[in-house]
Amino acid sequence: MEAVPRKTTIREVAQAASVGIGTISRVLNSSSQVSRETRARVLEAIRRLGFRPNAQARRILKRRAEMVCFLLSNRDFLHPFHARILQGVESYASGLKQHVLFAALHYSPRTPPDRIDLPPVLQEHGLIDGLILAGTIYPNLLRRIESINMPFVAFSNNVVGMGDEEQFDQVGFDDFNGTLHATRHLIGKGHRHIVFAADVSYPWLRRRFEGYRQAMRENKLKHALITSRNPQSFVDFGQKSAGRILSRQPRPTAAVAGNDEIAYGLWRSLRRQGVKVPDDISLVGFDDREEAVLMDPPLSTVRVDKEEIGETCMKMLLERLHHPRMTFSQRILPTEFVIRGTVRQL
Amino acid sequence: MEAVPRKTTIREVAQAASVGIGTISRVLNSSSQVSRETRARVLEAIRRLGFRPNAQARRILKRRAEMVCFLLSNRDFLHPFHARILQGVESYASGLKQHVLFAALHYSPRTPPDRIDLPPVLQEHGLIDGLILAGTIYPNLLRRIESINMPFVAFSNNVVGMGDEEQFDQVGFDDFNGTLHATRHLIGKGHRHIVFAADVSYPWLRRRFEGYRQAMRENKLKHALITSRNPQSFVDFGQKSAGRILSRQPRPTAAVAGNDEIAYGLWRSLRRQGVKVPDDISLVGFDDREEAVLMDPPLSTVRVDKEEIGETCMKMLLERLHHPRMTFSQRILPTEFVIRGTVRQL
DNA sequence: ACAACCCCTGGAACTGGTTCCACACCCTAA
DNA sequence: TTAGGGTGTGGAACCAGTTCCAGGGGTTGT
């Protein structure tokens, strides 16, 4: 590897400005104790030499990397949903001169904590100050992260198999109230036979189901859960659910899908069978993905502000870094029901 | 800010293992010259003390950050397309123990280079070794990057307004041959009246148009370019183009869309007007976005391997870092036409 | 006139690794 | 027996910043 050309150092700048090295450092950190003329002379020398301070050297003394890692686990692709969270993290971070590292991790839920092979960033130390966990999070991963004493905040909606006694910083959004409001909206439009389609073995879909059930119960309506066997994907799950919905007696007038992908699969399969949305059956989704507006008619769904999730994660992580002993906190961000074109007044 | 607890250092490990600090360093860097017993003693001490070397300290000596930045410019959101490129970069990088920083930048094409406000990562020095540029790239940005002597590789498909004399490392995919093959496929299926829909003021769409035109010319067919006024988005562009296509005499039997979003807009608008794809009109797209398979019927399109682009960018950047004086290189990755359901045999 | 104080400033010491030189030690060959 | 070579090891010097302490010089108070 060729030698990297040496860059200007603080000592050269000190020489050029005829001051001591301490003074340069004081100017750089804008600590007050520098006279106006000296500061001007130093700044001029910095400009003339094109000096840019070496970040590593500062970090080693400050014991702060000013960098956090966004760790996406068990996703074979950076979905728009998580991509937006990442952008929320980055935009908030860069405003505070913090940097964001992106890393991916694949592990099995059953791999014991000490066997989980962490990405290179987490093997060294001093590289990052903290971690934002996104993607599917199983207890073993948390154990592993805790074992290296790395402060972290988790995006909690995709946390799986965690007991209530688990304590860590987390940010999530309100699954329960999301479907609660969506379902109330349907009921308000005169719907009585409403089904819910999702695989409720996922904790977050289970919470959405509970929100739906709550709305049904408070209106003394019967709830019905639609599932399907061996789906290839959420879209496929939706497609396979369509038949099951149509075969119910009496035929439901509306369906609440566990997420937008299921809603999409449902919509597509219904349309193929000549069932019109929303004329024959109303449909609502959850997540407000990019594709929701592209559907025809555009999907009424529960909006989640993904940038805000990212921003909140970053904010919480910084608080944790400033106050390591602070008690753990949990933030649930509100959701919003977005009315588009897939719900009909009965 | 609370003090960060001091971590174990190499000197403490040396003490614990009763060896010199140099030996610890040699063990860490697995440079051969250490006897088996000493190495074992050192490793044991490392394990016992839970020692993890400080990354910053090494970097300062090595003059290598082992970190690159993926800079996304002028995108208000990390699109799946670029998200995949990022993942390609990350997966290749992490295999080589390199880290990837994510940063976003917004600038106007007309902002003079010295006025472009670079993200924090690029203001310090020593933080990253190089840069991967994605998003829309105007000459002024390149000028700015060059002014801070930061090695970079650009994802070149979205480069705008660059003269041929511009020299820099770039990775892109083959717009021209992509549509050339797609159009040939249509012609092979018996189509003669084929239109191309896109705003060719974008250089990459212009190249795709040229590919289409080449295929038409070599078959002595007349080409036709469809554009639309003041589109809100590519999807909208497609929607607005549908009418213009249908009003042509004779009516085209196939359309090549500049990208999948235009294809989607076209498809949606055609379907609303009762024109069936592919029965009444065949359609091909470009990019193979996630949504392409979700369309009904799934869209035949030109596939671009986004992960491979990311991987190649990273590979090329590392070469540049190893050989700073190497002449600039340009890689054009091949595309592949994916046959799905939107092309009909005439 | 001298002490007390504040404002600036210089530079040694430090951070936690890597590098390199000196040297101890052992083995082999002359 | 001694020179020569290779292997293994210790630790000083170094990297490029920050921190902190010691002082210089001016101003004010007595």
Q: Is B297 in contact with B277 (CB distance < 8 Å)?
A: yes
For residue B220, say whether its CB is under 7 Å from any atom of strand C: no
> Distance from A268 to chain B by nearest Cα, in Å?
8
Residue B270's contacts (CB-CB under 8 Å, 6 or more residues apart) are: B242, B246, B276, B277, B280, B281, B283
**Confidence band, pLDDT 50/70/90 cuts, at residue B12:** very high
The protein footprint on chain D, as nucleotides within 7 A of a CB, is 7-21
- Interatomic separation, CA of residue A115 and C1' of nucleotide D28, rounded (Å): 70
Q: What is the pLDDT of residue A32?
A: 65
Q: Is A267 in contact with A235 (CB distance < 8 Å)?
A: no
Q: What is the pLDDT of residue A296?
A: 85
Q: Tell me how crowded residue A223 is: count the other CB atoms within 10 A of its CB.
A: 17
Strand partners, A259: none
The whole-number average pLDDT for the span A284-297 is: 90
Question: Distance (Å, rounded) from C-alpha A335 to C-alpha B149?
Answer: 45
- Residues 147-166 in A contacting B (C-alpha not used; CB under 8 Å): 148
The whole-number average pLDDT for the span A109-131 is: 92
Angle among Cα B88, B93, B99 to the nearest 5 degrees reads 115
One-letter identity of residue A241 = S
Question: Distance (Å, rounded) from C-alpha A83 to C-alpha A70?
Answer: 11
User: Between β-strands A130-135 and A152-155, what pairing exists: parallel, antiparallel or unpaired?
Assistant: parallel
Query: Is it the case that residue A48 has pLDDT exceeding 70?
Result: yes
**Confidence band, pLDDT 50/70/90 cuts, at residue A1:** very low
Pick A104's closest partner by Cβ from B63, B91, B104.
B91
Q: What is the pLDDT of residue A177?
A: 98
Q: What is the pLDDT of residue A254?
A: 98
For residue A21, say whether its CB is under 7 Å from any atom of strand C: yes
Q: What is the pLDDT of residue A2?
A: 43
Rounded alpha-carbon distances, angstroms, from residue B147 to A50, B133, B140, B292: 10, 15, 11, 41
Query: Is it the case that residue B4 has pLDDT exceeding 50?
Result: no
Pick B120's closest partner by Cβ from A54, A78, A94.
A94
- CA closest to A1 among chain B residues: B322
Nucleotide nearest to B60 (CA to C1'): D15
Q: Which residue has the tokens 């000549």?
A: A274
Helical (H) or strand (E) element with B254: strand B254-257
Helical (H) or strand (E) element with A162: none
Q: What is the pLDDT of residue A3?
A: 42
Q: A125–B235: do the CB atoms touch at under 8 Å?
A: no
More confident residue, A164 or B170: B170
Question: Chain A residues with CB inside 8 Å of B52's CB?
Answer: 123-125, 148
Residue B126 at interface with chain A, using a CB cutoff of 8 Å: yes
pLDDT tens digit string along B193-209? 999 999 999 999 999 99
> Distance from B127 to chain A by nearest Cα, in Å?
6
Question: Distance (Å, rounded) from C-alpha B219 to C-alpha B252?
Answer: 16
Query: Is it the case that residue B278 has pLDDT exceeding 90?
Result: yes
Stated pTM of the model:
0.92
Closest CA to B100 of A96, A204, A162, A78: A78
Q: B60–A60: do the CB atoms touch at under 8 Å?
A: yes
Q: Which stretches of A12-53 are assigned E, i.e. beta strand?
A: none
Query: Is it the case that residue A14 has pLDDT exceeding 50?
Result: yes
Question: Which residue's alpha carbon is at the shortest distance from the C1' of D16?
Answer: A57
- Interatomic separation, CA of residue A146 and C1' of nucleotide D13, rounded (Å): 38
- Interatomic separation, CA of residue B1 and C1' of nucleotide C3, rounded (Å): 39
Question: Distance (Å, rounded) from C-alpha A141 to C-alpha A122?
Answer: 13
Q: What is the pLDDT of residue B32?
A: 66
Pick A94's closest partner by Cβ from B63, B103, B272.
B103
Query: Is it the case that residue B263 has pLDDT exceeding 60?
Result: yes
- CA closest to A78 among chain B residues: B83
Pick B103's closest partner by Cβ from A60, A90, A271.
A90
Query: Is it the case that residue A164 has pLDDT exceeding 80?
Result: no
What's the DSSP call for residue B159? Answer: B
Residue B293 at interface with chain A, using a CB cutoff of 8 Å: no
Q: B83–A78: do the CB atoms touch at under 8 Å?
A: yes
Question: Chain A residues with CB inside 8 Å of B3's CB?
Answer: 63
HSE-CB for B178 with a 13 A CA cutoff: 33
Nucleotide nearest to A59 (CA to C1'): D17
> Distance from B78 to chain A by nearest Cα, in Å?
6
Closest CA to B232 of B262, B259, B205: B262
Using DSSP, state whether A341 is helix, strand or coil: coil
Percent of chain B having pLDDT more than 70?
Answer: 97
pLDDT tens digit string along B221-255? 999 999 999 999 999 999 999 999 999 999 999 99
> Distance from B297 to chain A by nearest Cα, in Å?
10
pLDDT tens digit string along A27-39? 998 766 788 889 9
Rounded alpha-carbon distances, angstroms, from residue B97 to A106, A166, B211, B323: 16, 32, 40, 19
One-letter identity of residue A288 = D
Question: Which residue's alpha carbon is at the shortest distance from the C1' of D10?
Answer: B20
**Confidence band, pLDDT 50/70/90 cuts, at residue B5:** low
For residue A11, say whether its CB is under 7 Å from any atom of strand C: no
More confident residue, B29 or A247: A247
Query: Is it the case that residue A96 has pLDDT exceeding 90?
Result: yes
Q: What is the pLDDT of residue B2?
A: 43
Query: Is it the case that residue A10 has pLDDT exceeding 50?
Result: yes
Percent of chain B having pLDDT more than 90?
Answer: 80
Q: Is B27 in contact with B34 (CB distance < 8 Å)?
A: yes
Nucleotide nearest to B34 (CA to C1'): D8
- Residues 260-289 in A contacting B (C-alpha not used; CB under 8 Å): 264, 268, 271-272
Q: A83–B84: do the CB atoms touch at under 8 Å?
A: no
For residue A26, say whether its CB is under 7 Å from any atom of strand C: yes
Name A residues 41-60 whose Cβ lies under 7 Å from strand C.
57, 60
Q: A79–B83: do the CB atoms touch at under 8 Å?
A: yes
Highest mean pLDDT among A154-168, B89-103, B113-127: B89-103
Q: Is A135 in contact with A296 (CB distance < 8 Å)?
A: no
Strand order in the sheet with A254-257: A225-226, A194-197, A254-257, A282-284
Nucleotide nearest to B53 (CA to C1'): C17
Strand partners, A54: B125
DSSP secondary structure letters along A301-324: EEE--HHHHHHHHHHHHHHHHH-T
The protein footprint on chain C, as nucleotides within 7 A of a CB, is 7-21
Strand partners, A195: A255
- Interatomic separation, CA of residue A184 and C1' of nucleotide C18, rounded (Å): 66
Q: What is the pLDDT of residue A136?
A: 92
pLDDT tens digit string along A223-232? 999 999 999 9
Query: Is it the case that residue B280 has pLDDT exceeding 80?
Result: yes
Strand partners, A302: A337
Q: What is the pLDDT of residue A343?
A: 97
Percent of chain A having pLDDT more than 90?
Answer: 80
HSE-CB for B190 with a 13 A CA cutoff: 5
Residue A109 at interface with chain B, using a CB cutoff of 8 Å: no
- Interatomic separation, CA of residue A61 and C1' of nucleotide C24, rounded (Å): 37
Q: Across chain A, what does the average pLDDT equal?
A: 93
For chains A and B, count residue pairs whose Cβ atoms are closer than 8 Å.
160
HSE-CB for B174 with a 13 A CA cutoff: 15
Query: Is it the case that residue B166 has pLDDT exceeding 80?
Result: no
**Confidence band, pLDDT 50/70/90 cuts, at residue B6:** low
Both tokens of A37, joined, read 């003329």
Q: What is the pLDDT of residue A4?
A: 47
The whole-number average pLDDT for the span A67-78 is: 93
Both tokens of A157, joined, read 């909606």
- CA closest to A326 among chain B residues: B2
Residue A315 at interface with chain B, using a CB cutoff of 8 Å: no
Q: A84–B97: do the CB atoms touch at under 8 Å?
A: no
Using DSSP, state whether A152 is helix, strand or coil: strand
Q: Is B167 in contact with B152 (CB distance < 8 Å)?
A: no
Highest mean pLDDT among A144-153, A184-193, B162-171: A184-193
Q: What is the pLDDT of residue A140?
A: 94
